[in-house]
Every structure is written in C-alpha cells, then in structure tokens.
Structure 1
C-alpha cells in the first residue's frame, strides 16, 4: 500500500499532533505516523498548561488527534522503521510495509527515557514514578520523594524537588557531578543515599523504594533521572546528525540542516514541557506547509 502526501509527520505526541493540526489547516495533505502509546504525556497529569487548571494527558492526546483529523490530517498508528530521501521526495516505510512519499517531513519522535528496569517501575508510571522533575514536581508538594541518578540531571532534579517536597532522597551509586553542583545540593533539604534500587512498591500509587541492601525509603514519588536520548535512528538514516548533547538542532522556524526537514518537541532538547512541544509543533507545521506551497524550504 502506498500513500503520497505533502507533509509527513513522524510522532503522535503533542508536538506531532499540533504540527498536523497547523499543517492541515494550511490545506496541504498531511499524515502523522507513530504509536500514541509511546508518548510520555499519555500517563501524565498536566497542571502547568495555559488555560487548563488540570488535565489528563491521555484525554489531551485524544482531543488533539481528533482535532488533527477534523482538519483533514490522516493518522497512521504504525511505527516508522525507515526514512530515506529519493531526489526531492522523502520515503517512509512503516512496520506493516506502508510506503509514504512526502515533500516535507517533520520529526516529532520524542525521546526515549532511560529506564531503571526494576519491579514496580512500569506499574506505577504516572502514579508516583516520573522521568521528568520539571514536569511533575508540582504534584509532590509536601511529600517525600526519591531521585535516582548519578549525573547533573539528577542533581538539578533534586534541587528543584526540594522546593516542593517535604523530603528528597538522592539515591546514587557513583556520583558524576562537579563539586560546585554538590555544593548547591548541600544547601537544600536533600539526603544523599548511596545504594542500588531494587524495587518500587505501593498500593495504587507509590509508597516506597526498596534498595538492594535491604533499606526502604518511605516516599510517594520516585524520579528516575538516568538520562534520555532522542529516537535518532530515523534522523541518522536520513543523514541528520544530532548535536553533542544528543538533540536535533533547529532554527527559529524549526528547520533542520536538511532542506524540507523540520523537527519539534522533545527531540530538539529540553525543557521537556508540553507547552514547548505544542509551540514548536505549531511552528514546524506552519512552516512545513508554507514551504510545500511555495515549493521551497
């Protein structure tokens, strides 16, 4: 099966769906591909988005998908396994051998959060387990939390969470942060806990973190900060190289180094916030559609 479109968007998270909405409103043909289950927003609660006091991430994704379809975008729930360029046309192959040819591509694949891979991590995702302190710190006011990680992201997360939580435990093995960063942490209500996590426990939501040495931390939140990387395989196949920090570089119009290729959302770097993803998605969708209509990037 083949499909020819003006704009193909890879990713069904908030950035990809917003790009689909804006591109489709410009009256160009649009398809957005991916798995909606892969979006980190799906299991999140949102309280810091303009005009919405509190929202369920799954509901936002459903509404965004319906909006994109209402404006004429097609949605394909299939993973993209190949992305190449043939002359002036981009060729996309999905897991079920659907072939999509497009004039422009928007990369909105998000990032893969590094997993701890312990019992309870998956079960309590969105119910106490988080991979993003800047996204979820506000939900843990006056609660005890644990931060797991060795590098600067963990330190920064611990510092941020100390402004909200009643107690922050920083669980680590071998610290890989600067003395300056450790000084910043020392001035906060953060307790250093050397050790290896064994399991996350709870009933309905997180109630504790157990370590391999038998120690148990009574916490209501566990923030896993082991790093994150963009889903870069497709970008690399196309010939777009990530920068040293692992993100795709874009200009103010969300254009990448390759003509007619745009990127938006978490794949372009932090902060990993809904508002930023949506804002970049609108810019990428608008400019990709405009470029197609004008016949240039």
Structure 2
C-alpha cells in the first residue's frame, strides 16, 4: 500500500515527486514509455528559470529525477492498463509490475502532440522539426519556417513565429482553414506570412542532420514539389493521455482532465491531476512544474485528513 502513486515523469510528475518525497510521503513514480515526457525530445531549453545559459531537455529531466530519488521517491517502469478509482485504496494494473494499491493518485501523464507520421518527421524532432513555437521559435531568428495546420493554434503560432522568422509559410492540406475568422484575418494581414494551401505534406527533407525542406503534393495538380525551409512546426493539435482512465475521471470534450479552478482536484477525492494532462492552454515546462507542486501539496493535505477546500480558505 502506497501513500501516493504518481503517474508520469515529465516536469509536473517529477516536481510532485520531489515535494511528496521531502514531506516523507514515500511516493511511487510510474514511468511510462517516454520517461521525462516531451522535454526529452527537446534539445536546448532556454526559458526554464535558473539556467541562464540554457540546459538540454534530457539533462533537465534527469536532474529532476535524481532530485526526487535523493529525497526517497521510488521509481518503477511500466504502463498502466487499468485503474479502479471507485473508492480508496485505488487499484492500478501496471503492465510489467502487476496490481498496485494506493491511498492517493496524482495523474501527470501529459499530452502528446499529434504528428503527421510522414517520413523524416520523428527522426528530425529537435533538428528542425518542432511541435511548440513558444518553446523553439527563438532558434529560428531570421530564418524561413513552415507551420503545418489549419486551426486556431496554427494561426496563433504562425503569428508568434513572425517575431523571429524572416518568413512563415502556412501549409494546409485543404483550400479552406478550420481557424476562426478573426484568427484567419490576423494571419492573412501579416506580411511575413505566406500560404501553401491545398498541399498535402509527404516528407520532411533533411541534409546533414538538419531540415532543409518539406515535400508536398499539390492537391489540384497532383504534382509534387519541395518547399525550402529551415524549420517545420507541426500544429495539428495535442491528445491528452487519458484513455487508460476509461471515463472514471471527469474530462472535457477533448479528453483533458477537469480540475477545480485554482487547484489540482479532480471529481474524485484523493485523485489529482497536473501538467499538460489538464492544461491545453499553456503547455510549458514551468507551468507543468508549478502544477506538480500544487498537486503534491493538495495530496499531502488530503492524506493528512484535511479537505483542500477547508485549508485553502485560510490562506
């Protein structure tokens, strides 16, 4: 029987583990198939406070894990296939481990960026392919970049990238965009933004471990061509990793866990959510880490028998 099990080892899960371990709660942290989360796919992180010269994403995650281990957090590798959250103790079936029981649960399984699954895409993540303009836009100052997508997030990221890039080309497989009219208008009125509509991406072209182009098919002429570029940003959405919960925790229409405003409380007492699994807006390492701290404090008060609503009103 564990006091708390933390699912996920991104910035939110590891921060929660650090706080719980320091509080002598002896948490168990379950690592999924991508230990360290999305930051392990990032090269240099320049916007995480405390690292004026930047730090490599995998190194940052490794440091956070070592910090949690130093205070007594236990780590196990496995994949949660089934949960029973009807009443504590909560039960988890973990592939490679078996059944585990815990008094409380912190869900920090993150959200995975949707990819195109075309040749050259995954291999070049961190080498010119990115899924986060806010994270990596700075690295493309005075360069040509491509945004793939047709929704509001794609338009927003395209406008953001014009702060750095010399040219931003929006590539979308249809002739019409899904984005709202106001977001489309902002993009169309930006002189730095060019258009590659009705173009289906076929392959990310790279040379010497660096992206140099995007091969597309013109859907009107059926002809293939290569758009030259220094970077490709895939902006076709994210998918929260909540399928394993089988509807036992309240989520919104897109699968993100719903938490009580200003807390990490889910609709199930003793179950908390932090990081990108409940945040479809910011999706930054620092905001994920902050919510991980909140989850640990909420969880600690729960385990001590204090309702979070009660103690939070005294602050």
TM-score w.r.t. length of structure 2: 0.89
Q: d(CA) in 2 for partners of 1:89 and 1:253?
A: 22
8 Å Cα contact 1:260/1:296 also seen in 2: no
Structure 1 position 15, deviation (Å) = 0.6
Shift of 1:235: 3.1
Call closer, same or farther: CA 1:87–1:249 in 2, change over 3 Å: closer
Q: Judge which range, 239-248 or 4-13, deviates more.
A: 239-248
Indicate the residue corresponding to 1:233 in structure 2: 243
Partners of 2:180 and 2:72 in 1: CA distance: 51
1:36 Cα deviation from its structure 2 partner: 6.2
Separation (CA, whole Å) in 1 of partners of 2:33 and 2:245: 20
Structure 1 consecutive aligned stretches of length 4 or more whose deviation exceeds 3 Å: none
Aligned pair 1:163/2:163, yes or no? Answer: yes
Q: Which residue of 2 aligns with 1:191?
A: 194
Report if aligned partners of 1:143, 1:165 keep a CA contact under 8 Å in 2. yes
TM-superposed CA distance for 1:286, in Å, is 1.9
Equivalent in 210, 219, 224 of residue 215 of structure 2: 210
Aligned equivalents of 1:11, 1:218: Cα separation in 2 = 38
Cα contact 1:5–1:101 (8 A) shared by 2: yes
Aligned residue for 2:119? Answer: 119
Question: 2-side partners of 1:275 and 1:97: how far apart?
Answer: 31
Contact preservation (8 Å) 1:14, 1:277: yes
Shift of 1:86: 5.2
User: In 2, distance between residues paired with 1:70 and 1:97?
Assistant: 23
Give CA deviations for 1:231-272 in whole Å, capped at 9, x if unaligned. 1113334x1121134321223221111101111101112211
8 Å contact kept, 2:78–2:97:
no
- The equivalent residue for 1:21 is 18
Give the Å deviation of 1:20: 0.5
Q: Which whole-Å CA distance do the structure 2 matches of 1:33 and 1:133 have between them?
A: 29
What secondary structure, in the 3-state scheme, does the structure 2 residue paired with 1:37 have?
Answer: coil
Q: Matched residue of 1:75: which SS? A: strand
1:179 and 2:189 correspond: no
Segments of 5+ residues of structure 2 without an aligned counterpart are 218-222, 309-315
User: For residues 259 and 18 of structure 1, what CA distance do their matches in structure 2 show?
Assistant: 21
Alignment map for 1:125-144 (pairs within 5 Å): 125-144=125-144
- Report the alpha carbon displacement of residue 293 of structure 1 after superposing the two structures with TM: 2.3
Which one of the candidate residues 28, 32, 36 is aligned to 1:35?
32
Would you say the 8 A contact 1:8–1:102 is kept in 2?
yes
- Is there any run of 5+ residues in structure 1 with no aligned partner, and where? none
CA distance in 1, matches of 2:246, 2:231: 36
Contact kept? 1:12, 1:36, Cα under 8 Å: no
Which structure has more relative contact order (CA 8 Å, sep 6+)? It is 1
| Equivalence for 1:284 | 295
Per-residue displacement from partner, 1:91-131 (whole Å, max 9, x unpaired)? 11111142221111001000121110111101101111111
Shift of 1:294: 2.5
Q: Secondary structure at the match of 1:284?
A: helix
Q: Which residue of 2 aligns with 1:266?
A: 276
Stretch deviating more after TM superposition (149-158 or 85-94): 85-94
Report the Cα distance in structure 1 between the residues aligned to 2:259 and 2:272, rounded to whole angstroms. Answer: 7
Deviates more, 1:29-38 or 1:279-288: 29-38
